[in-house]
Amino acid sequence: MAEQNNNPSPPRKSVLNDLTDGGRNIYCRFIDLSNEASVETFFLSRLLPDLGYKDSQIQTKKSLRVFTVGRGHKKEKYKPDYVLMYRKIARCVVDAKGTDESLEDWIEQCSGYCLALNRKFQDSDPVRYFIVSNGRTTALYEWNKDTPILTLDFTDFVIGNPKFEHLKTIVGIQTIAKSKPIPLTLEPADFRFIRPTMERARHLFATCHNVIWKEGYGPGPAFLAFVKLMFVKLWADKNLRENPDIGPLFISGLSEIRLPRSSVTFSKEWIERREAEGAVNPIDTIFLDRLRDDIEREIQLRKKKRIFDKDERIGLRSDTVKDVVRRLEHVDMFGIDEDLNGRLFETFLNATMRARELGQFFTPRSIVKMMTRLADLKVSRGRQDRLIDGFCGSGAF
């Protein structure tokens, strides 16, 4: 008869579990992390398999080579706790520190070790990231940057936590397997990409409205043409975030980042390259077609409902499209919060259509705020009020 296990492992926690003890994640209790060795053994060694790496793909400290790396004005011998491999090539360095140590004191050593590994390759830098953790905080860096692209607290390591899930999408084995080592002849990242302020976004929408109206469109067709262009813009910005080479840049939270020009497809430069190849109105004939095909696949999988007809076209002249694209290409529309998107569409609708033409009226924001406060909706662990807004329009309520 098999021996009964009287001390079963506790179930792995998710973000829906109560973490009021403040000291446990899915790997260990924080109270058990007293020094560097415990952070390595009880925390990081259990994290790496969840990133998808097999034992054969994890090189431990005993098997790693010591390199001489810089530390301030001095040089010292150093090696980390782990190096993650894919097809016998190093891809990510992982190092544990004591709970009372500052991670910033070890950035230079980790980066220097990545550099030493990359020097073995003449045409690329295969080691793209390093992770350093003192248990209390875990930071993910690009190997040649001083600012982390992702920072997680101890209790972020629970199933379903957005930061934890994003860490897995960046350095998980599935992403690493798809990505190619970065060529040393990288295109400079000089394309400005800005998250707009409310005032800036309103101004952009107003100028786009004027450009489209110059073509002679009525209120309804002008707005519909603009919506189609905005769908294409949002889809293009979403694809930038899903690009494993540049997606991590968006995690920084900065209002402005720099991207390689070739990665930005919703741009005047991209249009002109396609026109030089013989394409006519490429945003309409190439980009919209790709978006429709993407939506059709989602419809087949029952993940989306139909938005466009199968033969949908933007309907604007190529010079008009190019003018609108030129005004929007440097603006991160996908990064705008939902409430701002609603306000922007209200701004555009109010500028292009009159209520008597559409039979639509927008409730002033001051009235929206007053009514929602009067409704006194409650959301807590034990109670969640629900409502229905049958005529939600831009979603203000």
Is 172 among the domain residues? yes
Using the 3D structure, point to which of 183, 218, 234 is the last residue of a domain. 183
∠363-368-372 over CA atoms, to 5°? 145
Is 336 among the domain residues? yes
> Cα(397)–Cα(380) distance, rounded to whole angstroms?
19
Q: Is there a single domain that holds both residue 178 and residue 229?
A: no
Using the 3D structure, point to which of 166, 183, 200 is the last residue of a domain. 183
Q: Is there a single domain that holds both residue 144 and residue 253?
A: no
Q: Is there a single domain that holds both residue 236 and residue 313?
A: yes
Instruction: Please report, as a single letter, which amino acid is at residue 159.
Output: I
Q: Is there a single domain that holds both residue 131 and residue 237?
A: no
Q: Is there a single domain that holds both residue 129 and residue 146?
A: yes
- Scan for tokens 């929007």, then name that residue: 328
- Please, where are the H alpha helices in 151-267? 162-171, 173-178, 198-213, 219-242
Q: Is there a single domain that holds both residue 46 and residue 134?
A: yes
Phi, psi of 11 (to 5 degrees): -60, 145
Using the 3D structure, point to which of 152, 183, 214 is the last residue of a domain. 183
Q: How many CB atoms lie within 10 A of CB 389?
A: 9
How much is the pLDDT for 341? Answer: 59
Q: How many residues in total does the chain contain? A: 397
Q: Is there a single domain that holds both residue 269 and residue 147?
A: no
Is 397 among the domain residues? no
Segment-wise mean pLDDT, segments of 10 residues, the chain, 397 residues: 47 49 82 95 96 96 89 80 94 96 91 88 84 96 88 92 91 85 62 86 82 78 83 88 75 79 89 84 84 78 74 87 93 72 60 50 74 85 81 70
Tokens of residue 314, six digits = 């933007």
CA 14 to chain centre: 21
Domain count for the chain, please give it: 2
Is 385 among the domain residues? no
Phi, psi of 246 (to 5 degrees): -120, -10
Is 309 among the domain residues? yes
How much is the pLDDT for 356? Answer: 45
pTM: 0.46
- Partnered with residue 84 across adjacent β-strands are 58, 92
How much is the pLDDT for 252? Answer: 63
Q: Looking at residue 126, which CATH number applies to its domain? A: 3.90.1570.30
How much is the pLDDT for 13? Answer: 57
Is 20 among the domain residues? no
How much is the pLDDT for 238? Answer: 86
Is 395 among the domain residues? no
Q: Is there a single domain that holds both residue 47 and residue 96?
A: yes
How much is the pLDDT for 181? Answer: 63
Q: Is there a single domain that holds both residue 158 and residue 232?
A: no
Q: Is there a single domain that holds both residue 100 and residue 173?
A: yes
Q: Is there a single domain that holds both residue 149 and residue 200?
A: no
Q: Can you give the residue range of the structural domain that contains 246?
A: 189-362
> Cα(126)–Cα(128) distance, rounded to whole angstroms?
6
CA 293 to chain centre: 23
Helix, strand and coil content of the chain, in percent to the nearest 5, comes to: 45, 15, 40
How much is the pLDDT for 1? Answer: 42
Is 278 among the domain residues? yes
Q: Is there a single domain that holds both residue 347 and residue 202?
A: yes
Q: Do 117 and 90 contact (CB within 8 A), yes or no?
A: yes
How much is the pLDDT for 186? Answer: 52
Tokens of residue 289, six digits = 């077609």
